[in-house]
Structure 1
Amino acid sequence: MKEVSIKLEYCYGIKDFTHTFDFSEKPTALIYSANGTMKTSLSKTLKALSKGETPKDEVFRERISTHILVDESEKPILNEEIFVVESYNEGFNSERTSALLVNKDLKKTYDEIHGKVDLKKEELLKELTKLSGIKTVEQEFKKLFQSEDILFILSSLEDEVLTSEVNELIMKLLSYKEMFNDKIISFVSDSNNTIDLGSYTELYNELLKGSSFLNEKFNHTNAETIGKSLSANGFFEADHSIILNGETSIHNEKDLKALISKEKEEILDNAELKALFTKIDNKLNKNKEMKGFRDLIALYPEIVEMYKEVKEFKRSFWISYLQKESINYRSLIDVYRKAKEEIKPILKQASEEVTLWQEVLNEFKERFTVPFKLTLENQKDVLLNDSAPSIKFEFMDKEENQVLNKPDLINVLSQGEKRAFYLLNIIYEIKARSLDNQRCLLVMDDIADSFDYKNKYAIVEYIKEINDTGNFRMIILTHNYDFYRTINSRLDIKNSLRYMTVKNNSGIRLVRGNYVGNVFNAWKNNIHKSNSMMIASIPFARNLAEYKSNSSEVYKKLTCLLHYKGKDSLTTTLTIRDLEEMYFDSWGYERSLPNKSKKIFDILFETANEISKIENEDINLENKVVISIATRVLIEKQIVRNIGENEQITKILGSKNSTPELIKLFEIEFPSEKNKIRVYNRVNLMTPENIHLNSFMFEPLLDISDEYLNRTYKEVLAFDQEGV
């Protein structure tokens, strides 16, 4: 993706947002978003799209949402190509972890070997399906033989299949599916039917004993099987004969069949046996699906006895089917046996593999200090059998370790440790996605929020590594300005991909992000051209003067420019020439400032008035500082004017906490001025951090919109026309 174009309307609080991110030169965009501006809404929208859901306006539900996300070719960015990293999501668990547990070369070799076995297995199962009539042969084997490994089951039957005689009776019966359908099993299991079936088989066996050569162990089916086998092996062709009970001599298979048929007819023609069969027949005739079973009993009464041991009866069917498919069966067993030998060294290597999963974990442990460790318990199965990873979680203290399940581990971790564990899962997901070579838009929503500085820099290190791979297109969202500056510095974010959010009634837009370097140096180089930068530099110069042993007078004078000290005080009388000298003293400023005779006090309010009329929402730090200074000085001036300069006022103006003290006195003197008191207190709470800024902390000021500061200034300015 060289470009990502986003157009949103009415999506989780976003009224309108349209922007194209140009990733043709750099893979990462960075967005600073003040609280309530856009950050959460954008990540929530993209999260919904990644899950295939439709974003919506949760407040004005009747509004129709628009959501377009395309690349430079107008090709939609697919759900699976978006991954949103939330600030924290305790329930997140990467589904791609298994990919990090696989040595691709090892897996390829294993799959090639197993592929040959699977091919032979499928050929055999296909034929068994035809014979048995069921489509779930493999599942039936696993259930009957109580094992999840069908290859192990098949190989364990090898001696029986290849050395025993084929059970001819089984091959004459109905298919496995028909013989063991639910209705037949239910019929033979019914206690009432069991009595009738038992009586029938008992009498049948008794009648067999009266036969000249048959009995319950050598019935007509057995005799037919022997005759067929002798004939097939040339016994009769060699002029051999069979003598039954020392009397009847049989010279060919035809005579044997005729004799067997006669004996069988005589037995089945027994009146008592017929009566018992008729009783059973009446029950079976009620269901057409049982007709085949009825006919079987008539032909082969001995099968009734076999249903008493259904499991063994079923087993006989599969053995017979395998014997019938002996060529396919032998081929599978031979390939399987060879594969087992070839796989042994692969299994050994798989158990010893140091996988990407482990490498990520080792790197994580080096960067983060956490009281737990993770161990993979089924590495070989994950590597080779596509099993889900089984992770053991172990909590550690100085004395002993304790194995916990994941929920219990999460329950005992601190908030920071929980976030670290969450981050580990995120790293696994990102690492796995990078292996897919699939394009991906990676959105990070304040991933470093609530981490201490050590862990925060570990996160920055991870983000830099992701950035350097070039596999992702990243949008990093944050409301933490220090993190914003750090990411910009470490990742060398391109100017055109560094943004701040601006929100107004019509929607949200991105403007170029500034103030990522040394903002005070930038001001110092431009204060001769910009009154707003000249005024905004006063607090910083004052901070520098405070720490210089020979600059106490400069410190006092600069303080006077940040507070109202009286009508004819330094606040109102200091000029640009004076400020130029103080700037030289405090931070070595050597440029010449214009309009040297003009009063700083006048320039402050001239500049503030101009700034308050600006309607665009571009973020401008120096303008915010100027408005903050002007607003505070103005309320102090108003309070002093309304109360009048007296001994108490003079004392307050000389104190360190002059603003709150003046407001308290105003509340006492003018208790009915509720609105002014409310505004004054709001200004007192808001402006100190904005004015006493230093090289580290100007984030609070950036979080306050220009529009809000300007509106507050105008409110205070309007009090001058009202009087008290």
Structure 2
Amino acid sequence: MNRLNVYFQYCYGIKKIEKEFRFNDKNRTFAIYAPNGVMKTSFAKTFSDYANDRETKDLAFPDRETIRVIETDNEIKPSNVFVIEPYNEDYQSEKISTLLANKELKKEYEFIHEDIDKVKKELIKKLKQLSGLSGKKDDIEKTIEKIFGKNLLDFLLEKEETILNDKEKLFHDIQYKIIFNDKVIKFLKTKDFKKTIREYIEKYNELINESPYLKKNFSFYHAQNVQKQLTANNFFKAGHSVNLSDGDQKKEYSDGEELKKLLENEKKKVLDDEELQKKFDEINSKLTNKELREFRDYLLENREILTQLVNLKKFEKDIWLSYFIDQKDLCLELINKYKKGLKKIKELIERAKKEQTDWEEVVKIFNTRFSHLPFYLNIKNKEDVILKDEVPSIEFVFRDGEDEKFFKDKNELIRILSTGEKRALYILNIIFEVEARKREEKETLFIIDDIADSFDYKNKYAIIEYLKYMSEIDKFYMIILTHNFDFFRTIRSRGVVQYDQCLIAIKNSEEIRLEKAKYLNNPFVRDWKNNLNDSKKLIASIPFVRNIIEYTQSNKNDDYLLLTSVLHYKSNTEDILLDDIKRIFENNIQNLVFPDIDTNKKIIDLIFETADECLVAEEGINLENKIVLSIAIRLKAEQFMKAEITDERFLKDLDNYKNQTCKLLKKYEEEYNDEKKNIEILKRVNLITPENIHINSFMYEPILDMGDNELRALYQDIKNLKKLAYSNS
């Protein structure tokens, strides 16, 4: 991609923006500095709509015609655009599981599992029918792992002998889902039910023990199972018989149906007992809830299962073992196939554990770049990701210098992290997405919206280094948006973006323009010092020179105090000439060429004249214009207040006060508390201008965020203060 054309009109507050971005093999990154409220979020959101195939609109004025044009020399698909938000706690890269390694291992694993999976699929189908479970294909396997603590294949391997030799499938007719669902289990665990079932079982066991043929350890289930097994194996048809003893004498049964009838009668005697029936009715009466109705109906037909409900965990395991015994042939076939491939599977798993994967590299990148965080990451299931297409399981290890604690769930860790540390986890998912696109060699346009916003400096520099890494990846193109000028300067100085591809957003009433950036280096050293013939740059340099004198000498130095009288309206301000400024500049700045101008001119006159020029200058970032306007505004405000205040003693001592503007404003309010409009304007002066005037070479970014219009309007108001005063009096 060599060219990106953007034309947006009425897109989330952007009236109009048009720009052609030209990329080349060496420079595939642009950076845009946009003061708050200019276009940054709207620009990113419009690209996000394009990436997600959504409509873009103007939220405030939805009836306006929105135009969104995003064109490249080769048509860019939505999937080739990725927007990185400042922060999104819920974001999870969809590409985590695509960062796999050695495909040959996976192929071998799948080949071995082909036969195994075929039989396993058939067994799961039967288990679904028996249990009543349905839905996702892995419901059965998850249930087995939850109950027995092993996956299906390993569980079958462990229970092979039981499945092979056990003839009793006592509970294979019971539908697991009817009993073991959340609503029923919650009911069965209530104290009220536990008491009632205990009383029922005591009476039931008493009646069973009175039966001549049944006992506590040989219940209906055992007796019926024996009868069914004998009948199914043609025991009676072969001429065999069974002798049952009632304690006094034996009786011979040579017919399966006759034996079945006997057992049914014994069962009826027990269950029809008046006292037991009363206790069953008591249980039944508790099952009136609509959600428990299916369970109640099932109990009415299968009252004998009540005795099993006293130990739910055992009953649950017994039911599933009965299912496996019922499906003995399929289970044994699956076990045999699994055994044959097990040795090779174990070998593949060991090889997979040793594999270096791309997503493992992501974790390494994160742990290295964010090593100052109180946690680091591990990948727990490397072999399953490679062999089974599972999503990587990331383990978070929190450390406090003495101990470590392991968190499997990101949300558990988030509860104890600071805001900045939570944001770092978001960056982890961004890194996964980036690395996946790199691996796929997918041409991608990244729109990066203040990704380092609100991070501390350590995290911010870690992010900047990663952006530098991204800028060097073939097929990656980036537009980095920020409202933080310090970040803007830093990504340029660290080589993320070249100087001529740094842009500044300028907004007027009709459109937003993207112009080449200025002020990325110290403006006084690189520009103003050598262009003092421009009166704006000359005046804007005064606070810088004053700072230098303060740092290198002291704030009691005569030159420092004289320049202070240029920035505040003091008793000597009207007497200061450009010749004084020239002397101070030349004495304190080496290799400086002062302009050949009339040095007998008063500096205050030059300031006010230049401020008037700033009122009609073209809109832009205009750092020097803003400083000039701020100086002029404060001088005129103080000049006005000193002229209006009548307290001569106060005015006489004023030059010695610190915070002169505040002192003047307080005194003015005392004398003219009914001049509400004037006081409001003067308060705005005190609020806005100090930081702009006391600008220095280390921190001039905040003034860049301020629009020209606010200072121009305030300057006009200050110039009109006299008229306001007369009109209000």
Q: TM-score, normalised by structure 1?
A: 0.69
Alpha-carbon distance in 2 for matches of 1:143, 1:695: 64
Q: After the TM superposition, which residues 521-670 of structure 1 pair with which residues of structure 2 at under 5 Å, given as runs?
A: 521-549=525-553, 552-566=557-571, 569=572, 571-596=573-598, 597-614=600-617, 616-643=618-645, 646-670=648-672
Q: Residues 487 and 17 from structure 1, CA distance in 2 versus in 1: closer, same or farther, beyond 3 angstroms?
A: same
Q: For residue 542 of structure 2, what is the amino acid of its counterpart?
A: I
Identify the match of residue 357 of structure 1 among 356, 359, 376.
Answer: 359
Deviations 1:206-245 (A, max 9, x none): 9x9999x9999xxxxxxxxxxxxxxxxxxxxxxxxxxxxx
Q: After the TM superposition, which residues 39-50 of structure 1 pair with which residues of structure 2 at under 5 Å, given as runs?
A: 39-50=40-51
Give the SS at the match of 2:515. Answer: strand
Alpha-carbon distance in 2 for matches of 1:6, 1:120: 55
Give the SS at the match of 1:442. Answer: strand
Alpha-carbon distance in 1 for matches of 2:236, 2:340: 54
User: CA contact under 8 A between 1:350 and 1:379: conserved in structure 2?
Assistant: yes
Does residue 434 of the first structure (1) align with residue 442 of the second (2)?
no
Give the equivalent residue in structure 2 for 1:178.
Answer: none
Give the equivalent residue in structure 1 for 2:405.
Answer: 402
Q: After the TM superposition, which residues 358-507 of structure 1 pair with which residues of structure 2 at under 5 Å, given as runs?
A: 358-367=360-369, 368-404=371-407, 405-491=409-495, 493-507=497-511
Give the equivalent residue in structure 2 for 1:711.
Answer: 713
Alpha-carbon distance in 1 for matches of 2:706, 2:692: 10
Does residue 68 of the first structure (1) align with residue 69 of the second (2)?
yes
Deviations 1:665-688 (A, max 9, x none): 211222222111111111111111
Q: After the TM superposition, which residues 693-708 of structure 1 pair with which residues of structure 2 at under 5 Å, given as runs?
A: 693-708=695-710
Question: How far did 1:97 drift?
Answer: 2.2
Alpha-carbon distance in 2 for matches of 1:643, 1:209: 122
Give the equivalent residue in structure 1 for 2:94.
Answer: 95
Identify the match of residue 509 of structure 1 among 509, 513, 526.
Answer: 513
Q: For residue 670 of structure 2, what is the amino acid of its counterpart?
A: I
Q: For residue 371 of structure 1, what is the amino acid of its counterpart?
A: P
Give the SS at the match of 2:472. Answer: helix
Alpha-carbon distance in 2 for matches of 1:503, 1:703: 12
Q: Residues 394 and 111 from structure 1, CA distance in 2 versus in 1: closer, same or farther, beyond 3 angstroms?
A: closer
Question: How far did 1:46 drift?
Answer: 2.6
Question: How far did 1:139 drift?
Answer: 9.0
Count of residues paired in the alignment? 585
Alpha-carbon distance in 2 for matches of 1:471, 1:702: 34
Give the SS at the match of 1:505. Answer: coil
Give the equivalent residue in structure 1 for 2:18.
Answer: 18
Q: Residues 385 and 661 from structure 1, CA distance in 2 versus in 1: closer, same or farther, beyond 3 angstroms?
A: same
Question: How far did 1:373 drift?
Answer: 3.1
Alpha-carbon distance in 1 for matches of 2:236, 2:540: 122
Q: For residue 56 of structure 1, what is the amino acid of its counterpart?
A: K
Q: For residue 12 of structure 2, what is the amino acid of its counterpart?
A: Y
Question: How far did 1:14 drift?
Answer: 2.1
Alpha-carbon distance in 1 for matches of 2:142, 2:487: 58
Give the equivalent residue in structure 2 for 1:276.
Answer: none
Q: Residues 153 and 2 from structure 1, CA distance in 2 versus in 1: closer, same or farther, beyond 3 angstroms?
A: farther
Alpha-carbon distance in 2 for matches of 1:84, 1:401: 35
Question: How far did 1:613 drift?
Answer: 1.5
Give the equivalent residue in structure 2 for 1:237.
Answer: none
Q: For residue 483 of structure 2, what is the amino acid of its counterpart?
A: H
Q: After the TM superposition, which residues 80-229 of structure 1 pair with which residues of structure 2 at under 5 Å, given as runs?
A: 80-100=79-99, 102=100, 104-105=101-102, 108-114=103-109, 116=111
Q: Residues 210 and 639 from structure 1, CA distance in 2 versus in 1: closer, same or farther, beyond 3 angstroms?
A: closer
Q: Residues 524 and 645 from structure 1, CA distance in 2 versus in 1: closer, same or farther, beyond 3 angstroms?
A: farther
Does residue 37 of the first structure (1) align with residue 38 of the second (2)?
yes
User: CA contact under 8 A between 1:485 and 1:516: conserved in structure 2?
Assistant: yes
Alpha-carbon distance in 2 for matches of 1:611, 1:657: 27
Deviations 1:13-42 (A, max 9, x none): 222222222222412111112111122222
Q: Residues 22 and 143 from structure 1, CA distance in 2 versus in 1: closer, same or farther, beyond 3 angstroms?
A: closer
Question: How far did 1:111 drift?
Answer: 3.4
Q: Residues 310 and 686 from structure 1, CA distance in 2 versus in 1: closer, same or farther, beyond 3 angstroms?
A: closer
Q: Residues 349 and 527 from structure 1, CA distance in 2 versus in 1: closer, same or farther, beyond 3 angstroms?
A: same
Q: Percent same amino acid among aligned pairs?
A: 36
Deviations 1:412-457 (A, max 9, x none): 1111221222222222222222112111122222222222222222
User: CA contact under 8 A between 2:468 and 2:496: conserved in structure 1?
Assistant: no
User: CA contact under 8 A between 1:27 and 1:467: conserved in structure 2?
Assistant: yes
Question: How far did 1:53 drift?
Answer: 2.5
Give the equivalent residue in structure 1 for 2:7.
Answer: 7
Question: How far did 1:152 drift?
Answer: 9.4
Give the equivalent residue in structure 2 for 1:277.
Answer: none
Alpha-carbon distance in 1 for matches of 2:142, 2:721: 88
Give the SS at the match of 2:87. Answer: coil
Alpha-carbon distance in 1 for matches of 2:474, 2:647: 66
Question: How far did 1:387 drift?
Answer: 0.9
Alpha-carbon distance in 2 for matches of 1:409, 1:392: 10
Q: CA RMSD in A?
A: 4.7
Q: For residue 94 of structure 1, what is the amino acid of its counterpart?
A: S
Q: For residue 554 of structure 1, what is the amino acid of its counterpart?
A: D
Question: How far did 1:489 drift?
Answer: 0.6
Question: How far did 1:400 drift?
Answer: 3.3
Alpha-carbon distance in 2 for matches of 1:475, 1:584: 43
Moved more, 595-604 or 640-649: 640-649
Give the SS at the match of 1:469. Answer: coil
User: CA contact under 8 A between 2:156 and 2:331: conserved in structure 1?
Assistant: no
User: CA contact under 8 A between 1:110 and 1:343: conserved in structure 2?
Assistant: no
Alpha-carbon distance in 1 for matches of 2:406, 2:12: 42
Question: How far did 1:474 drift?
Answer: 1.2
Deviations 1:50-71 (A, max 9, x none): 3333233333333343322221
Q: For residue 14 of structure 2, what is the amino acid of its counterpart?
A: I
> Which segments of 5 or more consecutive residues in structure 2 lack a partner in the other structure?
124-128, 130-134, 161-174, 176-223, 242-320
Alpha-carbon distance in 2 for matches of 1:536, 1:681: 23
Q: Residues 422 and 50 from structure 1, CA distance in 2 versus in 1: closer, same or farther, beyond 3 angstroms?
A: same
Give the SS at the match of 1:537. Answer: helix
Give the equivalent residue in structure 1 for 2:204.
Answer: none
Deviations 1:642-673 (A, max 9, x none): 23683321322342211111111211222222
Deviations 1:610-630 (A, max 9, x none): 11012x322111111111111
Give the SS at the match of 1:547. Answer: helix
Alpha-carbon distance in 2 for matches of 1:411, 1:351: 31
User: CA contact under 8 A between 1:446 and 1:479: conserved in structure 2?
Assistant: yes
Question: How far did 1:115 drift?
Answer: 5.4
Q: For residue 113 of structure 1, what is the amino acid of its counterpart?
A: E
Alpha-carbon distance in 1 for matches of 2:112, 2:356: 28
User: CA contact under 8 A between 2:4 and 2:71: conserved in structure 1?
Assistant: yes
Q: For residue 410 of structure 1, what is the amino acid of its counterpart?
A: I
User: CA contact under 8 A between 1:69 and 1:77: conserved in structure 2?
Assistant: no
User: CA contact under 8 A between 1:523 and 1:537: conserved in structure 2?
Assistant: no
Give the SS at the match of 1:521. Answer: helix
Q: For residue 39 of structure 1, what is the amino acid of its counterpart?
A: K
Alpha-carbon distance in 2 for matches of 1:611, 1:496: 26
Q: Residues 618 and 76 from structure 1, CA distance in 2 versus in 1: closer, same or farther, beyond 3 angstroms?
A: same
User: CA contact under 8 A between 1:113 and 1:339: conserved in structure 2?
Assistant: no
Deviations 1:671-723 (A, max 9, x none): 22211111111111111110111111112211110121111111111224555
User: CA contact under 8 A between 1:4 and 1:72: conserved in structure 2?
Assistant: yes
